[in-house]
Amino acid sequence: MPSRRFKQVDVFTGKPFFGNPVAVVIDATGLNTAEMQRIAAWTNLSETTFVLPASSRNADYGLRIFSPKQELPFAGHPTLGSAHAVIESGFALPHDGKLRQECLAGVIDLSVEDTATGKRIFLEAPDAKISAVDDHNVRLMQIALGLTRPFMHPPARIDVGVVWLVAELADSKAVAALEPEMNGLSKLSVATNAAGITIFGKSDDEFSRLHVRSFAPALGVAEDPVCGSGNASVGAYLLHTGLVKSHGSDFIVRQGMQVGRDGQVSVRIDQHGVRIGGYAITCVDGTLRTE
């Protein structure tokens, strides 16, 4: 029976089962879109990816990314986890610490840093397209999130290949206390053509700068444990609003504590845009039968 190399990689952690898992099918040549979607629904993770040969000389490999319900043009933790799997499997190797991934959002530049605790991989997020959230949808956000106080600043719709509605709360305690009404968030996501809602607040620990939570029930993911594109959107929001002056341009985000994880995302912001990165570790390494 035909089989393909398969890895399940925990992303934004160096410790198994504390990050965000992504399923990676290595060398998915020959699988069609319907088959990929079926496999993604079967793994039932927030994303499953399929590594392919690049279609142009500008990239080292191609990647298709699927949630349990649909294909995505880009997603952060699947990109980083797939890069880890690509390197580990030898499907593609970095050149001078660089990798280029081809996906529906375009070619994504990645950098690989060798540290004392392993390889840390960063991606350059696609240029953000930012627009305001109208007053009606802001009120719906507040209602669905169960908020009794207004947001710290006006929310924004951030498109980094995946679209998030992004807003800041007073602090990490307010973020941690959220108990959103998922049906309301799902309706809001559909109405604004967004994947979901990402909320952040200033951390109260000495390790991280921000605490982030990302909700995407419209994609079948009630709460994303550690969300790469959500954190890239937060970085773009800080850059766009000028809040980077108060929060900083190089910091660690913690995410996932409310769902039993402790993901750590490195965020770097400069005039060129946003880079996010972190460590990853393979938890499952084997083969997947596809017929």
47 is a catalytic site residue: yes
Q: Report long-range pairs for 141-147 (Cβ below 8 Å, ≥24 apart).
A: 141/165, 141/167, 141/188, 141/197, 143/181, 143/184, 144/180, 144/181, 144/184, 144/185, 144/188, 144/197, 145/178, 145/180, 145/181, 145/185, 145/197, 145/199, 146/178, 146/179, 146/180, 146/181
In whole angstroms, give the CA distance from residue 127 to residue 155.
18
Name the token pair of 88: 């580990």
Marked catalytic residue, from 47, 102, 124, 223: 47
Based on C-alpha coordinates, what's the Rg of the chain? 18
Q: Around Cβ 104, how many Cβ atoms within 10 Å?
A: 13
Partnered with residue 95 across adjacent β-strands are 98
Tokens 């990676």 correspond to 24
Alpha helix (H) residue ranges in 75-160:
76-89, 135-145
User: Is residue 92 helix, strand or coil?
Assistant: coil
Partnered with residue 209 across adjacent β-strands are none
Residues 83 and 99: beta-carbon distance below 8 Å: yes
Nearest CA-CA partner of 121 in 13, 1, 7, 2: 13
Phi-psi domain of 56 (left: phi exceeds 0; alpha: psi -120 through 50; beta: other): beta
Residues belonging to the chain: 291
Name the token pair of 120: 């840390």
Active site residue ranges: 47
